[in-house]
């Protein structure tokens, strides 16, 4: 029997269209559950004729947020393992613009080169170093490309989380 229910959550592709901070994957644990993120994969992907800026990078972070979320596309976490129970945490993708969120405390950060096919992955399974997201808060993965926008490129976050 599992000690927790595990899920895979995919933000889908979100265009890297500017130099401003962009929420890509929002999560809101309920008052009765926290979430442990055991694996995070971030990537830059080509969608059509990619033209990223030279010597650029894309910075990703997971932050507590303030403000009331507006927009976003609902994400249904995919169960991993034997459980078929639905996740308690609400997840939304920035594939439809997420707005009204302001970054606060940082829980995780990573950077990848701004080039098609670049990715980075942190795995915390069974290490005790999982990213613990407390109950009752609102949180979001964000990305920013301070070096400028590239055309034909999108960002993606895939998280593996347990409840």
Size of the chain, expressed as the number of residues it contains:
163
Q: List, for residues 113-147, the tens digit of each pLDDT value.
A: 998 899 998 887 667 778 999 999 999 999 999 77
- Whole-model pTM: value is 0.92
Phi, psi of 153 (to 5 degrees): -125, 145
Q: List, for residues 82-97, the tens digit of each pLDDT value.
A: 888 899 999 999 999 9
Q: Exposed (0-12), middle (13-18) or buried (19+): which is 113, by Cβ within 10 Å?
A: middle
Q: List, for residues 15-40, the tens digit of each pLDDT value.
A: 998 788 999 999 999 999 999 999 99
Q: Which two tokens stand for residue 158?
A: 């895939």
Count CB atoms within 10 A of the CB of residue 100.
12
- Please, are residues 104 and 70 in contact by the beta-carbon 8 Å criterion? no
């Amino acid at each position: 029997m599992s000690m927790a229910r595990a899920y895979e959550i995919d933000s889908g592709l979100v265009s890297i269209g500017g130099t401003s901070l962009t929420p890509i994957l929002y999560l809101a644990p309920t008052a009765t559950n926290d979430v442990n993120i055991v694996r995070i994969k971030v990537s830059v992907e080509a969608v059509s004729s990619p033209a990223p800026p030279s010597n650029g990078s894309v910075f990703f972070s997971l932050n507590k947020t303030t403000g009331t979320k507006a927009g976003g596309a609902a994400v249904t976490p995919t169960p991993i393992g034997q459980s078929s129970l639905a996740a308690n945490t609400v997840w939304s993708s920035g594939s439809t613009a997420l707005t009204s969120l302001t970054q606060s405390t940082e829980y995780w950060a990573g950077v990848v080169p701004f080039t098609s096919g670049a990715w980075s992955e942190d795995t915390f399974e069974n290490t005790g170093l999982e990213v613990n997201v407390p109950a009752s808060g609102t949180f979001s993965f964000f990305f920013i490309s301070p070096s400028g926008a590239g055309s034909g490129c999108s960002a993606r976050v895939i998280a593996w989380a347990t409840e």
